[in-house]
Chain A
Amino acid sequence: MDFRFTEEQEMIRATAEAFLADASNSAAVRQAMVTEQGHDPALWQKICSEMCWQAMHIPEAYGGLGLGYVELVATLEQMGRYLFCSPFYSSVCLAANALLVAGSEQQKTEYLSQLAAGTTGTLAYTGSSGRWDADAVEAVCVADGDGYRVSGSYRYVPDGHTAQLLVIAAREQGSVGAEGISLFVLPAATAGISRQWLPTMDQTRRQAQLVFDNLPVPATALMGEAGKGWSKLATILDLATVAIAADQVGGAQQSLDMTVDYLKERVQFGRVIASYQAVKHKTADMMVKVEASRSAVYYAACIADEALAGGPLGRELAEAASIAKAYCSDTYFFNAGCGIQLHGGVGFTAEYDIQLYFKRAKSTEIFLGNGAYHRERIARGLLEAHPADGAVEALT
């Protein structure tokens, strides 16, 4: 057992930190977040050609770097810390994970190498029910000759309006829950897909609506077996959940750090406000939460590595993902919320960055299920599934 970064992992973390501190500074974030595509395409190009982050955990056989989830999480943590506006999460943590988990050999060869080279992508599965489990899939697919036709609209799709490659989930007419779900991969430029940006309260992460109106989809786009896609999709979502939790840890850490910096400068009643115990104790609570969150995310990253490699601990993925997401969501919101309070009036201005963290805390909390959603998933495993030992195994 050695539960800490290797030297190489630490180097990757430090490189991401140094790069983003500059490339994703406050001015850069504020510039990117008001554009419709929501990121700076030149910066994305630079990252794809110089840093190769998009290829990080894609196996070498498909043109990737063949690194693991721990490296990915270390990078995502820094992205969250610097509010990085980019198609990284949607392309790597949604699209690439989907192909890794559910793609056929041919699909992997074709699409993973594109993603590794910097093509953007995303995953669309949620309708407008507000759910994040299998019932979220509302779009319908019907067999049509050799292929399929897909109808329905997807909401809350990260970078859905700009992604170049789409992985979508749709269900057989009349099916419910985990039954009848299929996954497809197709170029977003396919004629007949209508895509619309949904302006959001958190401007650092883009969401879109996608409408499919009886769209023909070839049989070659099907990922895995028709109607049996849920267990794969569940794994993809668990991997994506671990990744967003890493973003949250970074954001929660920065909310704490920038607040502490401010507290050490601001003087009231003749003393820096950092010297007041009510204020110190609040920041101590913030630190406890962020360190515990980090432990949860690093553990989940190790489990995600095992899951992708088919190792025995991989069966813990759903539990580890829910633990991380439940805890990190609440931590980020707590830290960013306390951050505004401890900044006083300036915390309420557009000028100070703490408000941007507060908004990203809320949007990442909702995405893929909030704390209550993940705790209920855990409760089901604990209280209903396995009477004998209280272990949580099959959470989905």
Chain B
Amino acid sequence: MKLSFSAADEAFRNEVADWLAANLCGEFEQIRYRGGPGDEHSYVQERKAWERKLHEGGWTGLGWPCAYGGRGATIEQQVIFNEEYARAGGPGRMGHIGETLTGPTLIAFGTEQQKQRFLPGILRGEDLWCQGYSEPSAGSDLANVKTRARYDEARGRWLITGQKVWTSLAHESQYCFVIARTDPASVGQKGLGFFLLAMDQPGIEVRPIEQLTGTSEFNEVFFDDAVCGADDIVGAPGEGWKVAMGLLGFERGVSTLGQQMLFQNEFDEVVRIARENGAAADPALRQRIADAHVGLRIMRFNSMRMLSGGGDDGSLSREAMIYKLYWATWHRNLGKLAMDVLGPESEILDGAPYQLNRLQSLFLFTRSDTIYGGTNQIQRNIIAERALGMPREPRG
């Protein structure tokens, strides 16, 4: 076991830090630390400009192969970039769905033509993507999607009809990837397709949903014979589930260490307040603050194990299997701790009608961490079944 980074990696770290210091300033100063989870509605135009700036610096598609315009960075370098980015207060990435989900999925499963067509726009920070998985009757039970894809022989294209829900950032996105049923007689994981759709067309309607935070990051998306090119299906019709699951595998990865740096920023804020307002003298809160620190450090150690683990066969190691349940639960607890440290001030808003400050937003938004991306209960099912070999849940 070895904890330290190589000299070359440390040089890379300096390069990243220098670039951020030189560029994340001026017009971009105002978006530092903004636009993260719970704050995604903030500074949208500025953050889009920032995506283009990142591209100019060569910092998009960091882990993608050079052949597709990426930087071919090693895992260590990606970790370092994400750490430095968060340390510098880099804003929430508008392009993260495209860069971390669509891109790797196309690189792994897409045709050459799809790669040529879609990857450059993601790299340039121009094309933003959203994820059309969940539906009113397909949440945890994702395989229950009802949205239909019908091939229009006459005009050589797919027509999509149905409804998605909870679609984050659909109102800001140029494209959406959608799982839809290609075989109307099929049920469950069979008979699905994975489609790439342009959002700007008459067959698609986006309606925002107001969240308990008072803001609207996610939407309902209605498809009424929305058009998808014949070449814009990833994998064969009927093989959509395989692609959809492959994509979920990319959700856990190197961004996790950067995410932890954001958590660290939030935690430091809680510690700062505790020292200022006297909460640091309360024995029960001291225990919880220390517990949060312990939990965050271990989260880091665990991801270091996970990232060192190889696991090239695509199977998840034990430390990777626990990751989502662990961080989501930790983060939700941090939100509650922040309110308890603030005491009665935690109730007072920045302003009417419903202006939350950063920690209030943390408190409310972290209630969703244990829901999206597989709820805590679903995570526990997966751990018990796949890691511990216990019997599978009965299915209706």
Q: Which residues of A are interface residues toward B (Cβ below 8 A)?
A: 1-6, 9, 70, 256, 260, 263-264, 271-272, 274-275, 277, 280-281, 283-285, 287-288, 291-296, 298-299, 301-303, 306, 313, 319, 322-323, 326-327, 372, 374-379, 382-384, 387, 389-390, 392
- Give bound CA distance, A281 to B79, whole Å: 32
Supplied contacts A296-B297, A299-B301, A375-B294, 5 more A-B pairs, CB within 8 Å: A1-B5, A6-B1, A291-B302, A294-B319, A390-B271
**How many residues on chain B are close to A (CB under 8 Å)?**
51
Q: Which residues of B are interface residues toward A (Cβ below 8 A)?
A: 1-5, 9, 76, 79, 267-268, 271-272, 274-275, 280, 286-287, 289-291, 293-294, 297-299, 301-302, 304-305, 307-309, 318-319, 321-322, 325-326, 377, 379-381, 383-385, 387-391, 393
- Give bound CA distance, A296 to B267, whole Å: 19
Pairs A–B under 8 Å by Cβ, sample size 12: A1-B3, A1-B79, A3-B301, A281-B384, A287-B321, A295-B302, A298-B1, A298-B301, A299-B301, A303-B3, A377-B290, A383-B289
CB distance from B385 to the nearest CB of A (A): 8
Residues of the A chain whose Cβ atoms lie less than 8 Å from the Cβ of B321: 287, 291
Q: Are B290 and A275 in contact, with the CB atoms below 8 A?
A: no
Residues of the A chain whose Cβ atoms lie less than 8 Å from the Cβ of B377: 281
Secondary structure of the A contact surface, majority rule: helix
Residues of the B chain whose Cβ atoms lie less than 8 Å from the Cβ of A382: 271, 289-290, 293
- Give bound CA distance, A384 to B325, whole Å: 32
Q: Are A9 and B287 in contact, with the CB atoms below 8 A?
A: no
Given A263-B390, A280-B380, A285-B380, A1–B301 Cβ distance below 8 Å? no
Secondary structure of the B contact surface, majority rule: helix
Q: Are B393 and A3 in contact, with the CB atoms below 8 A?
A: no
Q: Are A383 and B294 in contact, with the CB atoms below 8 A?
A: no
- Give bound CA distance, A81 to B24, whole Å: 51
The residue from A277, A291, A323 contacting B381, defined by CB atoms under 8 A apart? A277
Q: Are B381 and A302 in contact, with the CB atoms below 8 A?
A: no
CB distance from A357 to the nearest CB of B (A): 17
Q: Are A3 and B305 in contact, with the CB atoms below 8 A?
A: yes
A277 to B, closest residue via Cβ: B393
Q: Are B322 and A1 in contact, with the CB atoms below 8 A?
A: no
Given A1-B304, A2-B2, A6-B1, A284–B325 Cβ distance below 8 Å? yes
Q: Are B302 and A292 in contact, with the CB atoms below 8 A?
A: yes
Q: Are A287 and B383 in contact, with the CB atoms below 8 A?
A: yes
Q: Nearest 3 A-B pairs (CB), nearest first? A: A280-B384, A375-B290, A284-B380
Q: Are B294 and A326 in contact, with the CB atoms below 8 A?
A: yes
Residues of the A chain whose Cβ atoms lie less than 8 Å from the Cβ of B290: 326, 374-379, 382
Q: Are B390 and A283 in contact, with the CB atoms below 8 A?
A: yes
CB distance from A339 to the nearest CB of B (A): 13
The residue from A256, A272, A390 contacting B391, defined by CB atoms under 8 A apart? A272
- Give bound CA distance, A156 to B275, whole Å: 37
Q: Are A298 and B305 in contact, with the CB atoms below 8 A?
A: yes
The residue from B2, B9, B280, B298 contacting A295, defined by CB atoms under 8 A apart? B298
The residue from A271, A313, A327 contacting B294, defined by CB atoms under 8 A apart? A327
Given A298-B1, A298-B301, A313-B3, A375–B287 Cβ distance below 8 Å? yes
Q: Are A296 and B308 in contact, with the CB atoms below 8 A?
A: no
The residue from A1, A323, A375 contacting B286, defined by CB atoms under 8 A apart? A375
A319 to B, closest residue via Cβ: B297
Q: Are A302 and B1 in contact, with the CB atoms below 8 A?
A: yes
Q: Are B326 and A3 in contact, with the CB atoms below 8 A?
A: no
- Give bound CA distance, A378 to B9, whole Å: 30
CB distance from A96 to the nearest CB of B (A): 21
CB distance from B353 to the nearest CB of A (A): 34
B304 to A, closest residue via Cβ: A3
The residue from A287, A294, A375, A390 contacting B291, defined by CB atoms under 8 A apart? A375
CB distance from A372 to the nearest CB of B (A): 6
Given A284-B379, A287-B318, A372–B391 Cβ distance below 8 Å? no
